């Protein structure tokens, strides 16, 4: 595993590809040589793709990862918070983040590993700044709000009939034993509770599962799908990307059951209706 502290401001590399200026310079980066090569390989694979509809590019990039292994807790590496870059294996959230980061990097004209890691950091951390464990966007409703503000996604749940979501979160602070970093450093807990309170005060919208049939005719491929849950204190239990399979929309996701990235056999709506822990969906576009 290669581990690097970035101290230098990164500028354009000219003929090597447009590089997005790096602002934050004091964070740690964790990746392997294979990960850096995969970023370049994905750029070569999709260099001829149109940028007219970014959602279609997101779908294609996501499909290119089919068969990649599922791995839980992919970001829990080492004792300190680092920007973990892993294109070899995914949990459901890092799969979505990786696909969105690649799509956004290509959209902005970035062709290099440094361009990608800059965008990934912007997506994964509150206000784009990596400042310890609590700066990571752990709750997906905050992830949505933060990345909507940055312009990386657009929450379209409300315009598709979404209703206010009772978004009281406290799962992490109530289940500290499930989070090694919180067990190691109890000083993180007060700050985490303050973040949870702020998220709980924010109004979010979701489409209840019983209303999904009304939305089905309007579903498109290349949307990010977040699945709300009945688990107390948790907002979102799973994420994925919508893909078209024939005339129906299915779910492309890193599946713990399948142990890899797959397209669901069921339609997206059948998938939600068949899961008793899922209460509905949130819909995000990137165009």
How does pLDDT run across 11-47, given as a tens digit for each residue? 333 334 454 555 677 889 999 999 999 999 999 999 8
- Superfamily of domain 153-285 in the CATH hierarchy: putative xylanase like domain (2.30.260.10)
Nearest to 92 by CA among 282, 279, 251, 256: 256
Segment 106-146, tens digit of pLDDT = 999 988 999 999 999 999 999 999 999 999 999 999 999 99
Model confidence at 79, pLDDT cuts 50, 70, 90, reads: confident
- Residue ranges of the domains in the chain? 2-135, 153-285
On whether the CB atoms of residues 139 and 199 are closer than 8 A, the answer is yes
Question: What is the C-alpha to C-alpha distance for residues 105 and 108, in angstroms, rounded to an integer?
Answer: 5
CATH topology of domain 2-135: Putative xylanase fold (1.10.3670)
Measured at the alpha carbon of residue 85, what is the angle toward residues 80 and 86, in degrees to the nearest 5?
A: 115
DSSP 80: S
Phi, psi of 57 (to 5 degrees): -65, -40
- 2-135 and 153-285, same CATH topology: no
The pTM of the full predicted model, rounded to 2 decimals, is 0.92
């Amino acid at each position: 595993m290669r581990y690097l502290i970035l101290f230098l401001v990164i500028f354009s590399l000219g003929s090597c590809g447009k590089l997005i200026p790096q602002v934050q310079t004091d964070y740690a980066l964790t990746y392997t040589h294979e990960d850096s090569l995969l970023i370049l390989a994905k750029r070569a694979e999709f260099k001829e793709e149109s940028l007219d509809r970014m959602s279609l590019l997101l779908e294609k990039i996501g499909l290119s990862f089919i068969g990649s292994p599922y791995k839980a807790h992919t970001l829990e590496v080492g004792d300190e918070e680092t920007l973990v870059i892993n294109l070899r294996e995914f949990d459901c959230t890092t799969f979505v983040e990786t696909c969105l980061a690649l799509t956004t990097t290509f959209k902005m004209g970035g062709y290099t590993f440094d361009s990608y890691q800059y965008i990934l950091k912007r997506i994964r951390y509150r206000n784009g700044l990596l400042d310890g464990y609590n700066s990571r966007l752990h709750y997906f409703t905050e992830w949505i709000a933060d990345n909507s503000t940055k312009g990386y996604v657009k929450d379209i749940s409300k315009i598709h009939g979404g209703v206010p979501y009772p978004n009281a979160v406290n799962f992490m602070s109530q289940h500290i034993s499930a989070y090694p970093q919180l067990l190691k450093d109890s000083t993180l807990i007060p700050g985490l509770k303050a973040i949870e309170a702020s998220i709980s005060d924010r109004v979010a919208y979701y489409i209840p599962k019983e209303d999904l049939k009304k939305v089905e005719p309007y579903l498109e491929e290349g949307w990010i799908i977040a699945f709300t849950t009945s688990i107390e204190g948790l907002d979102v239990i799973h994420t994925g990307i919508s893909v078209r399979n024939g005339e129906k929309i299915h779910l492309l996701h890193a599946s713990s059951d399948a142990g890899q990235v797959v397209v669901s056999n069921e339609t997206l709506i059948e998938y939600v209706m068949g899961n008793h822990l899922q209460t509905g969906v949130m819909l995000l576009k990137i165009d």
